[in-house]
Structures are given as C-alpha cells and as structure tokens.
C-alpha cells in the first residue's frame, strides 16, 4: 500500500471518504439484491404466483451460499485491512490466498451435497407437490455456480481493502448487466422459466468471480501468486471470530426465512408465502443502504484500528451511525407510502396479492430503523475483530427473539403475528447493541488518551542527535 493510499485512510476528511467508499459498496450490496429481484420480476411476469412461490422456497438455499461467502468477506477483509494498517503486506497476500483455496473447497463440497440430497432438501425447504419440479429445476442449474457465488460475495471486500472501491463496484456492475440480459433472454424470449432464471444467476456469479481472480493476479497490493493459494489453518483461525459472526448472521437469517415460509404457509396459505417473497426483496433493498455503508467504512475503521488511531475510529462510527439513521427513515418511508405501487412491479393483475402484501409491509417493515442501529453497531465490532460480540447480538436477534416469536405470536395474531416477529426482535436487539456501543465509545476515548500520552512521552524522551 503506497503513501497516498495510507494517507487517505488516516488523514482524509471523513464524510467525503465515507462517501467514496460507501457509495460503491452500496452499489455492490445492491447488485446482490438486483440479482434476486431480476429473477423474481421476470419469473413473476412469466409464471405468476407459482413462480414467485418457488423462488421464495429456494431463497434460504441461496442465503446459505451467501453466508459461506460472508465468512471470508468479513473475516478475511477485516484481517487484511488490519494487516495493511500494520504494513504487513506479505501477511495480507497470504490471507487472500488462503481464503481463495478455502472458498474453492467449501463451494465444491456444497455443490456435491446439494445434488446428493436434492429431493429431501427441497422438501425440507417447503416445496409442495404443485411447485417441487420448478424448485428442482432451479436448483439443478444453480448449484454448480455456488463456488463462484461464494467467491463473488467474498472477494469484492478485499478489493475495497486495497483502497479501490470503484473497481469493486465495476465488477458488480458486470454481474448486474449479465443477469438482466440473460434473465430476459432465457425466461422471456426462450421461455425456459425456472431453469432460465437459474442459468442467468449462475452466469452472473461466474463472470465477476473470474474478473476478481484476474484483478488479484494483476494487483500491485494484494498480489495473488500460486504459492499463496493453499490451506493455512492459522489464517482461517484468525478470521474465525469475525467471519463466524457474519456466517452466523446469514445462516440464521436463512433459517428464520425458512421458519417464516413454514409458518406463513400454515397460518396464511399460499398468498402469505408469495407476499413474503416480495417483502424479502424490499427488506433486502432497505438493508442495502445499511450494509453498503458498513462495508464501505470497514477498511477505514480496520486500518485505523491497526494503526492505533482510535479517535478516527470513533469519529467514523458516529458519522456512519447518523447517516444510517437518516437513510433508514427515508427508505422505509418510501416503501411504506408506495407499497401498493411497488408490489405491482412484481405481480400483475392480482389485486388480492397487492392488497395483502401492502398491508403486510406495514407490519413487517415499518420499524427497520432498529435494524439500521443494530447493523451499524454489529458491523463496527466485526471491523475491529471483536466478532464474538457481534455473534452474541446475532444469537439474541435470531435464536432468542425472531425464531421463537415466529412460533409464539401467530397463536394470537395469525399470519400477521409471524410478520411482526421481525420488527420486535430487531428493535430489542438495537437497544442492546446501542448500550454495548456506548461502552465501546468510552473505551475508545480511554485508548486514545493513553496512546497520546505514550506518544508525548516518547517525543519528550527522544535522544538528541
């Protein structure tokens, strides 16, 4: 990392720097939403209810692949950023190589297991006799691309850690363009329905994965050499606390979505499941502003934590929290106020679904400012490699609150009780996360004062030449 790149992390004005990193990161996060949205849009237009229901059934399987990628995204990139802040360039390159090797192995195992247990797997996910063939069609053409999906999710964060968010954004643009073009061609023109959507998604994973691999072989900072692509337990162990929290979040979120599928089908029928398929996209869209900002600030916080610049760490967090709060109010307001028009984008000529989903949005998505606060705090602890705190927050949010509430609340409130489990859990977790972060800010102040005293002492006692 050259002097100018180090200087931007350490000394550049925070707001422009956050914008520089967060806008491309938000577009990166948005790309994953657009991949799923594109499938739902074209499948909804071509197949109607049965197609949207099938996509909703498959979604937890896709989330699991994302979860495996997020282990390396958060754990690997934060470790690399700290190593770059410590001028340990060789260590950062070895971390990249170990991550690439592990992603390849895990992706291949995932694909083999998916094909081996395909029938019981899709039944477990909630496939019914009416849509199981559609679900299996999608899985058959999607599973071979899981390794590329994981690589795509993992290594865009490493490009940002180099100080190159624009390159990360451009690689994601390539994925979006491929997915939109191929979805239209395969689903609408060639009438391949579910297998067409799956093929489009697979190519949209393959293209950016290859671009990322090419980038790292040519990079001047995180230069990838074949000798680095090997198993290294010590590196994976160092990533574990931070990476496991991100994996847990995605994995348990996928589990929660599976619970929602089952419970909504039980209490609300097919229309409730279809409604969830649409709301999942809207919720992910709102989360994009939070996750994009968190991913954008991660290399800034991690670098300065490694460089012991604790005041800049604190200032970066506070500014990002303010931005998250403002953006959440704005985005939630748009989705709630325009809910009926937004729903009609995904499903046409079905007033029953439009009315039901518009009402469900107000129960399910109204209080996502709590989600913004929780994610902002949890992302901070990941960036400084205190992932064990994030893991505890994740278990509180999903294992202690969301999943049990999804079983308890519908006993009194029916299908809408299932939906309100989400805002109750997120707002409660936000309060706990806010308290933990208040204590962390006080700790940062003490670290800053101690570090400044040490610097002054060393300056005063420096030998005269």
Predicted pLDDT of residue 115 = 92
**Helices (H), ranges, 117-192:** 118-125, 132-142, 146-161, 165-183
Report yes or no on 464 lying in a domain: no
Report yes or no on 389 lying in a domain: yes
Q: Which two tokens stand for residue 328?
A: 């959440």
Q: How many CB atoms lie within 10 A of CB 39?
A: 29
Question: Inter-axis angle of helices 387-394 and 233-268, to 10 degrees?
Answer: 10
**Helices (H), ranges, 307-414:** 310-337, 339-346, 351-364, 369-383, 387-394, 403-408, 410-413
Predicted pLDDT of residue 7 = 73
**Could you tell me the residue range of the domain that residue 131 belongs to?**
14-457
Q: How many domains does the chain have?
A: 1
Q: How many CB atoms lie within 10 A of CB 111?
A: 17
- Chain segment 79-127, per-residue pLDDT in tens: 887 788 778 888 888 988 988 998 999 999 999 999 999 888 888 877 7
Report yes or no on 465 lying in a domain: no
Looking at mean pLDDT, say which of 5-14, 266-275, 345-354 comes out highest: 266-275
What are φ and ψ of residue 191, in 5° steps? Answer: 60, 40
pLDDT-derived band of residue 302, with 50, 70 and 90 as boundaries? confident
**Helices (H), ranges, 3-48:** 3-11, 14-47
Report yes or no on 214 lying in a domain: yes
Cα 255 to Cα 338: distance, rounded to the nearest angstrom? 29
Q: CA triplet 284, 289, 292: central angle to 5 degrees?
A: 100
- Chain segment 403-446, per-residue pLDDT in tens: 999 999 999 888 889 889 989 999 999 999 999 999 998 988 88
- Chain segment 363-372, per-residue pLDDT in tens: 888 888 888 8
| C-alpha distances in Å from residue 26, one per residue of 84, 166, 292, 315, 438 | 23, 11, 4, 20, 26
């Amino acid at each position: 990392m050259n002097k100018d790149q180090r200087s931007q992390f350490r000394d550049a004005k925070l707001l422009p720097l956050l914008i520089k990193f967060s806008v491309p990161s938000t577009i990166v996060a948005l790309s994953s939403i657009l991949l799923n949205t594109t499938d739902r849009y074209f499948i909804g237009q071509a197949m109607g209810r049965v197609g949207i229901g099938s996509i909703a059934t498959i979604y937890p399987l896709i989330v699991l692949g994302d979860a495996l990628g997020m282990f390396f995204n958060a754990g690997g990139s934060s470790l690399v950023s700290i190593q770059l802040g410590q001028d340990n360039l060789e260590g950062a390159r070895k971390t990249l190589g170990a991550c690439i090797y592990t992603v390849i192995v895990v992706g291949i195992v995932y694909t083999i297991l998916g094909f081996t247990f395909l029938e019981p797997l899709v039944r477990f996910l909630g496939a019914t006799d009416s849509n199981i063939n559609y679900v299996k069609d999608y899985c058959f053409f999607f599973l071979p691309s899981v390794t590329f999906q994981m690589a795509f999710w993992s290594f865009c964060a490493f490009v940002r850690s180099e100080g190159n968010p624009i390159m990360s954004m451009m690689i994601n643009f390539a994925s979006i363009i491929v997915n939109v073009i191929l979805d239209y061609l395969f689903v609408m023109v060639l009438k391949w329905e579910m297998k067409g959507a799956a093929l489009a998604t697979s190519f949209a994973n393959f293209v950016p994965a290859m671009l990322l691999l090419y980038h790292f072989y040519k990079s001047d900072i995180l230069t990838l050499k074949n000798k680095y692509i090997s198993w290294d337990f010590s590196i994976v162990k160092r990533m574990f606390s931070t990476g496991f929290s991100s994996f847990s979040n995605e994995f348990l979120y996928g589990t929660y979505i599976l619970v929602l599928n089952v419970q909504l089908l039980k209490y609300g029928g097919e229309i409730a499941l279809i409604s969830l398929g649409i709301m999942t996209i809207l919720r992910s869209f709102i989360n994009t502003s939070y996750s994009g900002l968190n991913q954008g600030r991660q290399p800034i916080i991690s670098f300065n934590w490694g460089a012991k610049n604790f005041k800049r760490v604190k200032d970066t967090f506070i500014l990002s929290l303010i931005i998250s709060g403002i953006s959440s109010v704005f985005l939630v307001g748009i989705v709630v106020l325009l809910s009926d028009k937004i729903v009609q984008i995904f499903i046409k000529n079905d007033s029953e679904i439009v009315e039901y989903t518009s009402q469900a949005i107000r129960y399910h998505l109204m209080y996502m400012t709590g989600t913004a606060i929780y994610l902002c705090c949890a992302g901070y602890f990941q960036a400084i490699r205190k992932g064990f705190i994030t893991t505890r927050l994740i278990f509180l949010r999903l294992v202690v609150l969301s999943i049990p509430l999804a079983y308890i609340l519908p006993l009194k409130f029916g299908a809408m009780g299932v939906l309100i489990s989400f805002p109750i859990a997120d707002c409660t977790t936000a309060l706990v996360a806010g308290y933990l972060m208040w204590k962390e800010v006080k700790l940062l102040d003490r670290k800053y004062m101690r570090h400044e005293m040490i610097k002054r002492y060393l300056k005063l006692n420096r030998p005269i030449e």
